[in-house]
Amino acid sequence: MTIQPAKLSDPVVRAFVTAVNSHDRAGFMELLAPGATMADDGSDRDLPEWTDREIFSSRGHMDVDSESDGGRTLLARFRNDTWGEMRTRWSFTVEDDGRISRFETGQA
């Protein structure tokens, strides 16, 4: 059963999923702390290049199946025009100022 983005527990993660699904690059970037980092399948990636390729240029979309860790860890079906759909895990580090300093994703 899919969790609607508006029902996600953590407001920052909720905004992240909403920005991804609405292809709102500016809104997405505003959620990231200066110097934010990310990893895909355990390897650190160049965040601007990765998000452009995997989310924005390829029309990425997240359907969240479950959340844990107070809403900071998600299991989701992620799809884009490059890879199709895959089951993925996302985890987020959110700073006190409400911005994401790191997120990690990978196949679940």
Q: What is the pTM of this model?
A: 0.96
Mean pLDDT taken over the chain:
97
30: three-class secondary structure by DSSP: helix
- Among 62, 52, 5, which Cα is nearest to 29's? 52
| Position 95 confidence tier, pLDDT thresholds 50, 70, 90 | very high
For the chain, what percent of residues have pLDDT higher than 70? 100
CATH number of 12-107: 3.10.450.50
Q: What is the DSSP letter of 95?
A: -
Alpha carbon of residue 75 to chain centroid: 11
pLDDT tens digit sequence for 52-89: 999 999 999 999 999 999 999 999 999 999 999 999 99
